[in-house]
Amino acid sequence: MKNFKINHREVRSYDVLELSGELDAHTASQLENSLKKLIDNEKHHIIVNCEDLDYIASAGLGVFMAYIEDVRSLGGDIKLTNMNPKVYNVFDLLGFPTLYDILEEESDAVEKFDNNESK
């Protein structure tokens, strides 16, 4: 089993969470803690870069579902980027593309936030 890691960095005024490894029932709490910490610190413009995410289970998807409403009610959003086809298929099967912005590249998400923000 591959280790799951989250790397947090900032791009302009947006927070990027880079996920790597396998996001499943054992590791979902790490993602939950990261999202909760961002929201508690009033960081509501979140990009989740899935480039190195090898696998996602329903527990991982559940974390995204649990926090999207909170983030949007605060005027922000969670945008997902750089998914490999295997990971994208899981999101797609569960209808995520209708609920979330799923973008090819992280830079697309930054641009989308820039265009939606009234700074």
Q: Given pLDDT bands bounded at 50, 70 and 90, which one contains residue 119? A: very low
pTM of the model: 0.95
Intra-chain end-to-end CA distance of the chain, in Å: 43
Q: How far is CA 78 from CA 23, 26, 28, 104, in A?
A: 17, 22, 16, 14
Residue 113 has pLDDT above 60, yes or no: yes
For the 5-111 domain, the top CATH level (class) is alpha beta
Q: Can you read off the two tokens belonging to residue 14?
A: 């947006």
Q: Looking at this protein, which amino acid is placed at residue 51?
A: E
pLDDT digits (tens, 9 = 90+) for 61-86: 999 999 999 999 999 999 999 999 99
Residue whose tokens read 């939950």: 32
Check: CB of residue 81 under 8 Å from CB of residue 102: yes
Sign of CA dihedral 61, 92, 95, 101: positive
pLDDT digits (tens, 9 = 90+) for 28-54: 999 999 999 999 999 999 999 999 999
Domains in the chain: boundaries: 5-111
